[in-house]
């Protein structure tokens, strides 16, 4: 086993997961329609001057022919002579007030680039926080500038760029007004500089790195500045507690963007890669090399074709270890760049709704297309010969088409896979769509999945500044040898607002529903989830916000109609302080009912008999502010557990030497005492990361779990010689613990990989 490799999972159990009431879907859709349109009927009764929607904030981008040097110093004369876009507004902690620290933002453009200059004044410049430098670092505990560019002005999707005082480069794709994919890497520049008055950020974003409709001179735009030590969030547009930054619908606009050049819209990225594998069991060595090509072509300014030949994923990070103590499948996220770029277009309305932090998910998500089904089979890599992907927009229609061919191996024949996705947008945030997949990864299998979905969403529900989202879907599958019980349906509604957050979800997943290129967590069930949260912001004890949640989840068997499980999760007290520290739970209570219809192996040698189980568990969670040099958290869960008792303890500690070094250690342990037997489930994880600059970073991940008794280490180096030219080095080593336990480990496989990619732009 035993190098750490992409696709390795601990006990990922197979799951193949069916007709929800059409009346519920219809009723919910009609209710939202009335909510969306109720203000129209009430306009006549509104007070003079009342507005159903705030006026869109707008700014002019200044054209320039001057040469702009990206160095974090806004010393070219045009920076001082061009108009600013206007003051930011506090979103929190004092909504609607002027920021405590001034921010000046200037926008320029020439034929090739959009330039953003930000002067972030600070009355205490020595307290500016910038702890990260690595590419796509998590900046949630830093001062930072974030930018959204809604180039299509569709109020749903946007390009995302961010940096901090240390010059970290973070980019991504924001989609469906709520999600962010930071695995998209564009060619762009940013430089920052600390000053005696705060810090400065200077962005240059090439138009060749963006998609946009030809001839459109207005783009959606938003900018946010976070002053982390004050937990202060300032926005240019949409400075409401109800509005998250990724809600593209709340962005303002920038105008007079004319004469933009994308060239012919072609990027060619050849690469060379090599890997060395030492097999511990035999002592043999193997050395291999390969060359390949990635191509990106803008067929139109808004429609991109991506191709890959002889694909290599040697630079991909390994998966986080998981031990499955539930009866259902674990979800492992995609990490390969080809599948992650523009992945948002393939999203489908059969997951969620999301939950507040700390609340368990329902565990019944459905992904009609899950890209890990391509190129990975039972944890083993299947070579990709070629792939092509078409993504983008045609008017108000989102399009996605993916085709991939894999090479035959000793355990599976070569196959071709096809995925198609279309969404027709209407209103500001709503759509109706369809999806189709063809293919099945297993040997000798074939399958198709097809379905439709719909989203009705608004941030002006009943005329106020309130969010409401309603999703509905229907999915069918047809696989070789499958039964005719092959349709899954669902509807969900969420009211995600600052003080009040509520949701309801209904879903049916029959046993015969098996999407060949998809993923489902449970089968043969009908799910109901109802939840509500009250989250006030009191003005005492320096509390930023308090959270109170009640979540009820119920599953019934579809074949017999019998109750399979129910769960009530209650958070009576969750306090977040203005210091950044938090008491996430003093005494959360989780009331659980489970019925086993067949024996359940919860741990090797520990088998739970069929029958009914009722148990109650409690949880306490404490976390310190991430802005501190040393931070951490403690999560303790205890109480009854199936037929006995169990204690679960999760601890983490992080030490930073900003902005170069970050060290962390995490331990997740379960100590179960059941009449059927005792067991311990333990996962230990440690990271040691170093960023020499925003362009050269070293990351190390060490993981151990006592289920597989394996210890793994992966070390990665990413060196960006120039934007679009990257060199990767990856080394991994595995060890196997002796059967008797203890500190004795035997070396297993050892692997080294390197990859160099160079982008030519035309």
What is the 3-state secondary structure of 257-322?
Answer: CCCCCCCCCEEEEEEEEEEEEECCCCCCEEEEEEEEEEEEEEEECCEEEEEEECCCCCCCCCCCCC
Instruction: Give mean pLDDT, residues 186-196.
Output: 97
Domain definitions of the chain by residue range: 62-255, 265-761
Q: Report the C-alpha gap between 754 and 56 in whole angstroms.
A: 49
b/e 630-663 (16+ beta carbons within 10 angstroms → b): ebbbebebebebbbeebebebebebebebbbebb
pLDDT band at 139 (very low <50, low <70, confident <90, very high): very high
Looking at the predicted structure, is the pLDDT value of residue 41 above 80?
A: no
Answer yes or no: same fold for 62-255 and 265-761. Answer: no
DSSP structural state of residue 106: E
If you search the block for the tokens 């098996």, which residue do you land on? 514
On whether the CB atoms of residues 235 and 248 are closer than 8 A, the answer is no
Long-range contacts of 726-732 (CB under 8 A, 24+ apart): 726/756, 726/757, 727/754, 727/755, 727/756, 728/314, 728/315, 728/753, 728/754, 728/755, 728/756, 729/753, 729/754, 730/314, 730/315, 730/754, 732/3, 732/4, 732/5, 732/318
Lowest mean pLDDT among 15-29, 173-187, 281-295: 15-29
Is the per-residue pLDDT at 375 higher than 80?
A: yes
Check the CA dihedral 478-481-482-483 and report its sign.
Answer: positive
- Residue with structure tokens 């308090």? 546
H or E, element range at 25:
helix 22-41
Cα angle, residue 189 at apex, residues 185 and 194 outer, rounded to 5°: 125
| Spatial distance between the Cα atoms of 170 and 725, rounded to a whole number of angstroms | 16
What is the CATH topology of the domain spanning 265-761?
Answer: Maltoporin; Chain A (2.40.170)
> What is the C-alpha to C-alpha distance for residues 653 and 656, in angstroms, rounded to an integer?
10
Q: What is 62-255's CATH topology?
A: Immunoglobulin-like (2.60.40)
The alpha carbon of 728 is separated from its chain's Cα centroid by a whole number of angstroms, namely 23
Res 335: pLDDT: 85
Q: What is the pLDDT of residues 580-605, one digit of tens each?
A: 999 999 899 999 999 999 999 999 99
CA nearest to 259, candidates 59, 60, 58, 63: 63
Residue 564 Ramachandran class (φ > 0 left, ψ -120 to 50 alpha, else beta) = alpha
Locus of tokens 């060490």: 702
Quote the tokens at residue 450. Answer: 């097809």
pTM comes to 0.88
Kindly indicate the confidence band of residue 358, based on its pLDDT and cuts at 50, 70 and 90: confident
**Biggest CA pair distance of the chain:** 83
Identify which has the larger pLDDT, 585 or 190. 190
| pLDDT at residue 44 greater than cutoff 80 | no
Whole-number pLDDT of residue 38: 43
pLDDT at 567 over 50: yes
Q: How far apart are CA 522 and CA 724, in angstroms?
A: 42
pLDDT for the residue numbered 482: 57
Which residue from 641, 632, 631 is spatially nearest to 681, judged by alpha carbons? 641
- Between the alpha carbon of residue 519 and those of residues 339, 371, 454, 488, the distances in Å are 16, 9, 20, 13
Instruction: Average the pLDDT over 615-642 and give the result.
Output: 96
What is the rounded distance in angstroms from the CA atom of residue 416 to the CA atom of residue 407?
9
Mean pLDDT over residues 34-44, rounded? 38
144-164 burial by CB neighbour count: b if 16+ within 10 A, else e?
bbbbbbbbbbbbbbbbbbbbb
Looking at residue 8, its pLDDT comes to 40
Average of pLDDT values for 124-135? 95
Question: If we measure between CA atoms, which residue out of 574, 681, 567, 672 comes closest to residue 620?
Answer: 574
**Overall average pLDDT of the 35-56 stretch:** 43
CA-based nearest residue to 569, from 547, 584, 550, 585: 550
Distance CA 138, CA 340 (A): 18
φ, ψ dihedrals at 104, nearest 5°: -115, 130
Q: What is the mean pLDDT of residues 151-167?
A: 95
Query: How far apart are alpha carbons 546 and 564 in whole angstroms?
Result: 33
Whether the Cβ atoms of residue 265 and residue 301 lie closer than 8 Å to each other: yes
Mean pLDDT computed over every residue of the chain: 90
Per-residue pLDDT for 541 more than 50?
yes
**1 has a pLDDT exceeding 80:** no
Six-digit token pair at 731?
């080394």
pLDDT band at 575 (very low <50, low <70, confident <90, very high): very high
Mean pLDDT of 548-573: 96
**Whole-number Cα distances in Å, 101 to 89, 98, 196, 539, 759:** 11, 8, 14, 22, 40
Instruction: Return d(Cα 175, Cα 248) in angstroms, integer.
Output: 8
The per-residue pLDDT for 183 is 80
Q: Give the residue-averaged pLDDT of 412-433.
A: 95
CA–CA separation, 246 vs 121, rounded Å? 25
The residue behind tokens 């735009």 is 221
**Mean pLDDT over residues 157-164, rounded?**
96
Q: Which residues pair with 93 in a beta bridge?
A: none
Quote the DSSP letter at residue 43. Answer: G
688 in Cβ contact with 703 (< 8 Å)? no
Q: What is the pLDDT of residues 227-248, one digit of tens each?
A: 999 999 999 999 999 999 999 9
- What value does the mean pLDDT take over residues 437-450? 93
**With 90 as the cut, is the pLDDT of residue 42 above it?**
no
**314 pLDDT above the threshold of 90:** no
623 closest CA partner among 590, 603, 651 = 651
Cα-Cα-Cα-Cα dihedral sign, residues 372, 377, 379, 384: negative
Q: How high is the pLDDT of residue 484?
A: 56
Strand 376-377 to strand 525-534: parallel, antiparallel, or no bridges (unpaired)?
Answer: unpaired
The answer to whether the CB of 279 falls within 8 A of the CB of 269 is no
Residue 548 CA to residue 569 CA, distance in Å, equals 11
| Res 53: pLDDT | 54
């Amino acid at each position: 086993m035993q190098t750490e490799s992409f696709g390795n999972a601990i006990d990922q159990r197979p799951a193949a997961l069916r007709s929800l009431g059409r009346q519920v879907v219809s009723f919910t859709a009609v209710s939202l329609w009335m909510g969306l349109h109720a203000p129209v009927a009430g306009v006549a009764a509104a007070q003079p001057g009342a507005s159903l929607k705030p006026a869109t904030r707008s700014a002019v981008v200044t054209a320039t022919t001057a040469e702009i040097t990206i160095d974090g110093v806004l010393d070219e004369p045009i920076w001082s002579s061009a108009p600013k876009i206007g003051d930011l507004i506090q979103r929190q902690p004092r909504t609607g007030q002027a920021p405590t620290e001034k921010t000046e933002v200037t926008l320029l453009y020439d034929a090739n680039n959009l330039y953003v200059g930000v002067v972030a004044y600070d009355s205490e410049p020595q307290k500016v926080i910038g702890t990260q430098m690595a590419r796509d670092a998590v900046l949630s505990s830093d001062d930072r500038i974030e930018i959204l560019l809604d180039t299509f002005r569709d109020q749903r999707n946007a390009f995302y760029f961010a940096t901090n005082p240390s010059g970290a480069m973070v980019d991504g794709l924001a989609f469906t007004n709520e999600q962010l994919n930071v695995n998209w890497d564009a060619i762009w520049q940013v430089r920052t500089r600390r000053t005696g008055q705060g810090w400065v950020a200077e962005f240059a974003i090439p138009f060749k790195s963006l998609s946009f409709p030809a001839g459109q001179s207005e783009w959606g735009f938003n900018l946010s500045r976070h002053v982390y030590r004050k937990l202060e969030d300032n926005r240019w547009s949409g400075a409401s507690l109800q509005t998250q930054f990724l809600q593209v619908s709340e962005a303002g606009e920038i105008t007079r963007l004319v004469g933009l050049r994308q060239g012919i819209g072609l990027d060619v990225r050849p690469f060379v890669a090599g890997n060395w594998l030492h097999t511990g069991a035999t002592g043999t060595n193997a050395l291999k090399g390969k060359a390949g090509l990635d191509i990106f072509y803008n067929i139109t300014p808004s429609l991109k074709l991506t191709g890959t030949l002889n694909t290599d994923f040697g630079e991909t990070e390994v998966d986080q270890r998981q031990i499955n103590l539930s009866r259902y499948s674990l979800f492992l996220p995609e990490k390969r760049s080809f599948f992650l770029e523009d992945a948002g277009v393939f999203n489908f309305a059969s997951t969620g709704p999301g939950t507040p932090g700390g609340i368990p998910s329902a565990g019944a998500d459905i992904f009609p297309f899950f890209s890990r089904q391509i190129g990975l089979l039972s944890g083993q890599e299947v070579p990709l010969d070629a792939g092509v992907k078409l993504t983008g927009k045609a008017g108000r229609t989102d399009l996605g088409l993916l085709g991939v061919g894999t090479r035959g191996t000793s355990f599976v024949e070569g196959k071709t896979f096809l995925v198609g996705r279309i969404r027709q947008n209407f209103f500001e945030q709503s759509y109706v769509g369809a999806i189709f997949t063809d293919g099945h990864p297993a040997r000798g299998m074939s399958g198709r999945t097809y379905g439709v979905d719909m989203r009705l969403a608004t941030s002006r529900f009943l005329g106020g500044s309130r969010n409401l989202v309603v999703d509905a879907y229907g999915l069918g599958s047809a696989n070789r040898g499958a039964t005719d019980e092959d349709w899954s349906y669902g509807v969900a509604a969420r009211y995600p607002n600052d003080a009040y957050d509520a949701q309801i979800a209904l879903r049916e997943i029959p046993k015969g529903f098996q999407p060949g290129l998809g993923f489902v967590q449970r089968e043969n069930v009908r799910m109901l989830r109802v939840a509500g949260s009250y989250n006030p912001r009191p003005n005492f004890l320096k509390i930023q916000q308090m959270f109170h949640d009640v979540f009820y989840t119920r599953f019934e068997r579809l074949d017999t109609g019998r109750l399979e499980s129910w769960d009530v999760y209650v958070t009576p007290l969750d306090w977040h302080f203005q210091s950044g520290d938090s008491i996430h739970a003093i005494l959360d209570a989780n009331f659980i009912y489970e019925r086993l219809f067949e024996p359940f192996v919860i741990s090797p040698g520990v088998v739970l008999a069929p029958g009914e189980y009722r148990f109650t568990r409690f949880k306490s969670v404490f976390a310190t502010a991430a802005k501190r040099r040393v931070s951490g958290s403690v999560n303790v869960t205890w109480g009854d557990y199936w037929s006995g008792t169990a204690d679960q303890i999760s601890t983490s500690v992080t030490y930073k030497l900003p902005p170069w070094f970050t060290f962390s250690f995490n331990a997740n342990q379960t100590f179960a005492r059941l009449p059927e037997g005792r067991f311990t489930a333990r996962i230990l994880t440690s990271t040691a990361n170093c960023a020499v600059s925003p362009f050269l970073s070293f990351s190390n991940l060490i993981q151990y779990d006592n289920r597989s008794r394996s210890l793994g280490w992966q070390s990665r180096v990413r060196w960006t010689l120039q934007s679009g030219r990257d060199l990767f080095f990856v080394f991994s080593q595995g060890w196997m613990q002796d059967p008797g336990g203890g500190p004795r480990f035997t070396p297993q496989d050892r692997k080294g990989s390197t990859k160099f990619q160079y982008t030519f732009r035309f």
